[in-house]
Amino acid sequence: MSKTARPQRQIDTLLHEAVALQQNGAHAEAEELYRDILAQRPKHFDAMQLLGALLLQSGRLDEGIALLKKAVSINGMQAPLHSNLAYAYNAQRRFSEGLASANRALALQPDFVDALNNRGNALAGLDRPGEALASFERALALQPGFAQAWNNRACVLRDLARPADALASCDQAIALQPAYADAWSNRANALSDLNRPNEAQSSYLRALELSPAFADAWNNLGLTLVDLKRHDEALQSYEHALAINPGLAEAHWNRALCLLQTGRFDEGWREYEWRWQRHRIQAAQRHFDAPLWLGQFPLQGKTILLHAEQGLGDTLQFCRYASLAAAAGAQVVFEVPAELKRLLAGLEGVTQWLDEGEPADQPLPPIDCHAPLLSLPLAFGTNLASIPAPTPYLHADEQDAQRWAERLKSHAGGNDAHHHARPLKVGLVWAGGHRAHVAELRKTDARRSIALDQLKPLFDVPGVQFYSLQKGPPAQQLSDAPDLAARIVDYTNELTDFADTAALVDNLDLVITVDTAVAHLAGAMGKPVWIMNRFDTCWRWLLERNDSPWYASARLFRQPALGDWASVIAAVREALVERASNQGIATPPDCAS
């Protein structure tokens, strides 16, 4: 008896020692003792699960998961084990497994706050923010002093477009734990959503004071510096993030946008290739047997597949590169989204068209290489001076355009009976597509769009007939405002794709739009287009200029400060008054209606 009793007592002593070391942060020493115990007792449950938790703490997730799973196979009835596994899976972005483990923990112990917190993080990772919020709130009802749950709750409130509530939730976390760098950084994110960049900046700096190697905070600080029009400092901030974590795709991506925005195309296009490493885009990356073409070999005699990516506006802007590929001696196969197929059919240089999203088993024609559209500026070495801008490169169908010409003749009166000249025909778009499911895009959509009501100052300009080109849910604003609707002819229910829109645009004198696909359509058609642009402009419109090297017919009206649309609309109104008063002066007789 005595022979076996001693080692057991010794092992208990070693275990207590190891736990004390772990609690005091002496991880390497604690690990050594746990491993000693496991060398003598390979199935020692406590040593196994405690070492598993220790490995998770020190970021060795794979080893930790392996040990915890082994512990579960010995005794699967311990809720903390499953909760720790949930934490580890979440850290590896294996959110479905994280959710399953958290649920197992909660089945064993329904009021286990750690498991509720881990369940919330798994649900947030699976884009189920409403359920995640409920999980965090249940944890907080049980333990109001749980700072991590307040902080995590803030993240999902941002996803639910409730930035003011997110800010309050971060403040709760910080009240409980004043040196909580993560909560300071999330507080700054919420302030950024609320368009309060100066306050956001000071919260990021507080986070970085507490945790100088916090790469995400450096990255997000960069975005706020862009909101403050301090692009050089933003680039430094991204570089800080990348010095800490060279593989941080979000920081490479934001650096790319900043370089492109400031006209530094050579570096910018190279960095832009990091988009495929971003979690949000990764799934959309296409893989073919043929190599990706980034300009590394001549195209002469090759067949290249060009495929659309990202938004419709991007496709309209970058489809111009098809003719460059053809001029370089390639046969061009082009895959496009259905809404653009008819419009792009006339594009120069394309030998064969494919429909995007055709059955996956549809065989591709034989190709030698492929390129997503937004990699073509890199492949062709595009810089500010060499942007291919031959407009128009897109054209309306002649018969469709003729039909619209007849329709519009019936509106030849304008709103001013005494105005003898033909009224100026102006197309209007006031909102972009609302991509509510992606927080970063939702923020951009909110910043680039306006309400129809804000355009009121334009509607009393004499000698103008407005036509709506607004599609999607924001078009409903016309029906909600009969007084404005009386000033706008709305044929949009007859526009089923971009070829229809192009045929109507072909008959207009001018398009006034926020930064949407219609801006690119009008620009590509060589139609005068006035773009009402947000302060934190998309990179393609560059900085400080009111023209665009991408579109000769575009004129930019920029916000002088974040969210200031009133100044933009006042400037557009002034320009419109001038344009309308010149309208009748040089109208050739055959255009007069």
249-259 per-position pLDDT tens digit: 999 999 999 99
Please say whether the dihedral angle defined by the alpha carbons of residues 175, 177, 178 and 182, taken in this order, is positive or negative: negative
**Any idea which architecture 303-386 has in CATH?**
3-Layer(aba) Sandwich (3.40)
| pLDDT at residue 334, rounded to an integer | 96
Q: What is the pLDDT of residue 284?
A: 81
Number of other residues whose CB lies within 10 A of the CB of residue 368: 16
Q: Which CATH superfamily is domain 398-591 in?
A: Glycogen Phosphorylase B; (3.40.50.2000)
Third-level CATH fold of 1-71 = 1.25.40
Residue 415 confidence (pLDDT): 46
Q: What is the mean pLDDT of residues 200-207?
A: 98
Band of residue 50 on the pLDDT scale cut at 50, 70, 90: very high
Return the CATH fold of 216-285. Answer: 1.25.40
Residue 293 has pLDDT above 90, yes or no: yes
The reported pLDDT for the residue numbered 236 is 98
370-390 mean pLDDT: 96
Give me the pLDDT at residue 438, please: 67
Q: What is the pLDDT of residues 116-172, one digit of tens each?
A: 999 999 999 999 999 999 999 999 999 999 999 999 999 999 999 999 999 999 999
Write the CB contacts of 308 (distance below 8 Å, at least 6 apart in sequence): 314, 315, 335, 336, 337, 340, 356, 372, 373
At 489-516, the pLDDT tens digits run: 999 999 999 999 999 999 999 999 999 9
The pLDDT tens digits for 515-553 are 999 999 999 999 999 999 999 899 999 999 999 999 999
Which pLDDT score, from 0 to 100, does residue 436 have? Answer: 65
Whether pLDDT at 193 is above 90: yes
The answer to whether the beta carbons of residues 442 and 395 sit under 8 Å apart is no
Please report, rounded to a whole number, the percentage of residues in the chain having pLDDT higher than 70: 93
| Lowest mean pLDDT, pick from 62-71, 312-321, 355-364 | 355-364
Contact between 426 and 464 under an 8 Å Cβ cutoff? The reply is yes
- 238/248 Cα distance (integer angstroms): 10
Arithmetic mean of pLDDT over the chain = 92
- 566 pLDDT exceeds 90? yes
pLDDT at 547: 97
**Burial (CB count within 10 angstroms: exposed 0-12, middle 13-18, buried 19+), residue 265:** buried
pTM of the full predicted structure?
A: 0.88
| Residue predicted with more confidence, 15 or 204 | 204
pLDDT in tens, 436-490: 666 677 788 889 999 999 999 999 999 999 999 999 999 999 999 888 888 999 9
CATH 3.40.50.2000 domain position(s) in the chain:
398-591
Domain ranges in the chain with CATH number 1.25.40.10: 1-71, 216-285
The CA distance from 520 to 315, in Å, is 9
Residue that the structure tokens 């809720």 belong to: 79
Helix (H, G, I), strand (E, B) or coil at 477: helix
pLDDT at 4 over 70: no
